[in-house]
Amino acid sequence: MGIQSVGIIGAGTMGNGIAQACAVSGLNVVMVDISDAAVQKGLATISGSLDRLIKKEKMTEAEKSAALSRIKTSTNYADFNSTQMVIEAATENYELKLKILKQLDGIVSKDTIIASNTSSISITQMAAEVSNPERFIGMHFFNPVPMMALVEIIRGLQTSDATHALVQNMAKDLGKEPITVKNAPGFVVNRILVPMINEAFFVLAEGLATPEDIDAGMKLGCNHPIGPLALADMIGLDTCLAIMEVYFKNFNDSKYRPCPLLREMVAAGYLGRKSGKGVYDYN
């Protein structure tokens, strides 16, 4: 039997998206965040997302109610004690993830699969911090989770074949298309994507074109569905910067130097859609 119950750490953009995908597919979900306000906000986001599916006639009211009934919210990791798998979807910060993993390791059973939704941090390094590291794996979803088909399954050096097979099948059960990649900074998609976004910020900083024209150029000239600057706003400029910092530190190569404009915008709190302002204004 495959995975039937999933715990999710984080009720933000990625966490609530993963929770929605799991619940809609029939899995029981426990979604945990640091405060009741945070988990209720995440649940409200899921409800609104399901309402949009109803308006598009892709879901019924009964199916929405059934999906929401499968989601339990909590602020206590102890509620993960009955889940077969826990997915960590916290902010892209190694120290924070390490703190979470050490707390989690003391609560869940030794057989519980622990996955990280990290977009750039070493799975091998994080696996080394938990007992039974063979049950640790990377499961990188893409935003918006309910709409995006791809999931990167990242094997750390310690990840067992059994863990990989279970998680790969679970991704397919969610209606996703998993690809398996080796552990390396940024894995595959973000290794290619985020340096391109970073270069778009260098182009913007040099005044070569307006944000609108940079995005239009990539959409019309490269057939991208969204321009790199608009995509940065969707991902979060802080997340883009964090990923570039990981590359710069791990590869020690100047081609991964974060653009100073990107760094300055993050320092100003211009993080993109989630803060109301990034390259573009969303207020």
Whether 74 has a binding-site annotation, put simply, is no
Domain co-membership, 109 together with 39: yes
Q: What share of the chain is helix, strand, coil (3-state, %, to 5)?
A: 50, 15, 35
Given 182, 213, 244, which residue is the final one in a domain? 182
Is the same domain home to 138 and 195? no
- Which of 131, 157, 182 terminates a domain? The answer is 182
Q: What is the CATH number of the domain that holds 200?
A: 1.10.1040.10
198 and 171 assigned to the same domain: no
Domain boundary among the residues 140, 156, 182 is at 182
What strands lie across the sheet with 5-9, from one edge to the other?
Answer: 71-74, 28-32, 5-9, 85-88, 113-116, 136-141, 150-155, 177-182
Q: What is the pLDDT of residue 120?
A: 85
For residue 90, give every residue at least 6 positions away whose Cβ sits within 8 Å of its Cβ, in sequence order, or none. 9, 10, 15, 96, 97, 100
| Residues 236, 153 share a domain | no
Q: Would the annotation count 175 as a binding residue?
A: no
Residue 254 marked in a binding site: no
Q: Could you list the pLDDT tens digit for every one of the 283 residues in the chain?
A: 689 999 999 999 999 999 999 999 999 999 999 999 999 999 999 999 999 999 999 999 999 999 999 999 999 999 998 899 999 999 888 999 999 999 999 899 999 999 999 988 999 999 999 999 999 999 999 989 999 999 999 999 999 999 999 999 999 999 999 999 999 999 999 999 999 999 999 999 999 999 999 999 999 999 999 999 999 999 999 999 999 999 999 999 999 999 999 999 999 999 999 999 999 999 8
Distance CA 172, CA 125 (A): 26
Q: Which domain holds residue 245?
A: 190-275
| Token pair in block for residue 29 | 């979900």
Residue where the block lists tokens 């699969």: 113
Distances 103 to 90, 97, 99, 186 between C-alpha atoms, Å = 14, 10, 6, 25
Burial class (CB in 10 A: 0-12, 13-18, 19+), 251: middle
Is 58 part of any known ligand binding site?
Answer: no
| Residue 49 assigned ligand-binding role | yes
- Identify residue 245 by its one-letter amino acid code: E
Going by the DSSP 8-state scheme, the letter that residue 85 receives in this structure is E
Confirm or deny that 92 is annotated as ligand binding: yes
Q: Within 10 Å of residue 69's Cβ, how many Cβ atoms?
A: 10
**145 and 91, same structural domain?**
yes
Residues 54 and 152 in one domain: yes
Cα-based distances in Å from 185 to 98, 110, 123, 128, 175: 17, 27, 9, 16, 26
The answer to whether 274 is annotated as binding is yes
Q: Flag whether 282 is in a domain.
A: no
Q: How many domains does the chain have?
A: 2
- Bridge partners (DSSP) of residue 74 are 32
Q: How far apart are CA 65 and CA 186, in angstroms?
A: 37
* Residues annotated as part of the active site: 119, 140, 152, 190
Closest CA relative to residue 140, chosen from 170, 166, 112, 120: 120
